[in-house]
Amino acid sequence: MDGKCYKLLLIGGAVRLYFSSTSLPSLIGHRVEFATPLNSFKRIQEGVFLLQQGVDPYRGDLVHETPLLLKAISSILIHYAEWLPFLYILLDLCTAALLYSMSRTFVAQKLQQQRQERKDYAKDTEELQYSANDKYIIPELVLVAYLFNPLTILSCVALTSTVLSNLLLAMFLYTMIRRQLFISVALLAFETVRSLYPVVLIAPLLLLFARRSVSLGIGICLLFATCCLAVAGANYFVMNSWNFLDGTLGFIFYFRDLQPNIGLFWYFFTEMFEHFRTMFLITFQLNATVLYLVPLSIKLRKEPLLLATVLVSLTAVFRAYPSLGDVGFYLALLPLWRRCWKFMAHGFVVFTFFLITLSMMGALWHLWIYAGSANANFYFGATLAFCTGQIFLITDLLFAHVKREFCLYNGQKIMIDGEEARILLE
């Protein structure tokens, strides 16, 4: 990392430290857009207290963090609570640094790949190809997109465990792009046991390491399953009980807490008849995990990192308990696909969706909960529009990638009967 990047990291840390010293943490820590039953700092505090009192924190329905992390944070929370904001800021800066390093490696690999394929490219496609300057521009854009995104800043200030999830995902992407198989599988297993949905990221690993070897793919799946069992076993030895499985993975899958959030689950499960719950539960969970996995893996089989980006984005939209911190993480990955931006047609629409819906959420929540002049439909309407904006963004990125790949080999100007044709995806 050069001096400019270190300065950006220092500024990003200073911004987080400044907001941590204000009244903002207590306000954001109670906002349902950032704090969910899974990542809330208040629930972690409750779990640590119960653990210190010798009470199983998973007997009730308040604590949903894994025993390993509760045990790790308990001594810090009890003896050095005033240093906790510094720890979260440090973890967030580590995430940004890992994303920066991963981006540099990714661009270097793309440049090497281009040198081998350039002879097949059309003549008028220079602006679609990665250039030497992208080794510096793209990583800096990724760094800035993570460090100075209000969603990631506020998520860190609120001391949500999304900070740790983002760190683990960044470490996974970094080790994956560096082709460190065992470490990436172990990291993925740890995060899967915590929050279930990262299990879909086994697909990019298989495409990267075992695209031409079925036996190697089976071996990676067995290694992943072994690591998951090892992590679960380590959590068992902390608690001497398997109750944590129902309190973490079971809680996520069965969606027991109907507290509103920025996702789609809570409203449907609040309004539906109870005898339809199992059908909708399976449908929603399939939509959040395996529904898009096979078609996307086939289409993006040559781009494992793009597949990982899209899967992280989709799970941030469709998971049971999403937060704005999850959204901020995948937004930081978009500069990796800077050469696709030319073909992204809905940038203004997506920006407008994000700006308006994020502004409306706070106002509609106040009208619903405090003023009593609105109801759940108002707030859900804003969150539904926000999810729609995210889907526009993800599909726009996918279409842009397909158009870029087509134009690289066929040229940007295609003439039919002497007239320039338009490229449309149907």
What's the pLDDT tens digit per position in 11-56?
A: 999 999 999 999 899 899 889 999 999 999 999 999 999 988 888 8
Q: Which pLDDT score, from 0 to 100, does residue 410 have?
A: 83
Helix (H, G, I), strand (E, B) or coil at 103: helix
Does position 416 have pLDDT exceeding 80, yes or no? no
Q: Which pLDDT score, from 0 to 100, does residue 404 have?
A: 92
Q: Which pLDDT score, from 0 to 100, does residue 422 have?
A: 66
What's the pLDDT tens digit per position in 72-81?
A: 898 888 888 8
Q: Which neighbouring-strand residues pair with 419?
A: 416
From residue 123, alpha-carbon distances to 128, 139, 402, 418 in Å are 11, 27, 18, 19
Position 10, amino acid: L
What's the pLDDT tens digit per position in 261-287?
A: 999 999 999 988 888 899 999 999 999
Residue 90 has a CB neighbour count (10 Å cut-off) of 15
Does position 65 have pLDDT exceeding 80, yes or no? yes
**Stretch 212-240: mean pLDDT:** 93
Residue 373 class from Cβ within 10 Å (0-12 exposed, 13-18 middle, 19+ buried)?
A: exposed
Q: Which pLDDT score, from 0 to 100, does residue 200 have?
A: 96
CA distance 81 to 85: 8
What's the pLDDT tens digit per position in 281-319?
A: 999 999 999 999 999 999 999 999 999 999 999 999 999
Share of the chain above pLDDT 70, in %: 97
Backbone angles phi, psi at 122, to 5 degrees: -70, 165
- Chain center to CA of 250: 21
Rg of the chain over Cα atoms, rounded to whole angstroms, equals 22
Of residues 189, 145, 193, the one with CA closest to residue 328: 145
Does position 426 have pLDDT exceeding 80, yes or no? no
SS3 content of the chain, % helix, strand, coil (to 5): 75, 0, 25
Share of the chain above pLDDT 90, in %: 74
Phi-psi domain of 213 (left: phi exceeds 0; alpha: psi -120 through 50; beta: other): beta
What's the pLDDT tens digit per position in 374-408?
A: 889 999 999 999 999 999 999 999 999 999 998 88
Q: Which pLDDT score, from 0 to 100, does residue 421 have?
A: 63
Q: Which pLDDT score, from 0 to 100, does residue 414 have?
A: 67
Q: What are the start-end ranges of the H helices in 29-161?
A: 41-52, 67-79, 84-117, 134-147, 150-157
Q: Which pLDDT score, from 0 to 100, does residue 100 have?
A: 96
Residue 136: HSE in the Cβ half-sphere, 13 Å Cα cutoff: 6
Domain ranges across the chain: 3-420
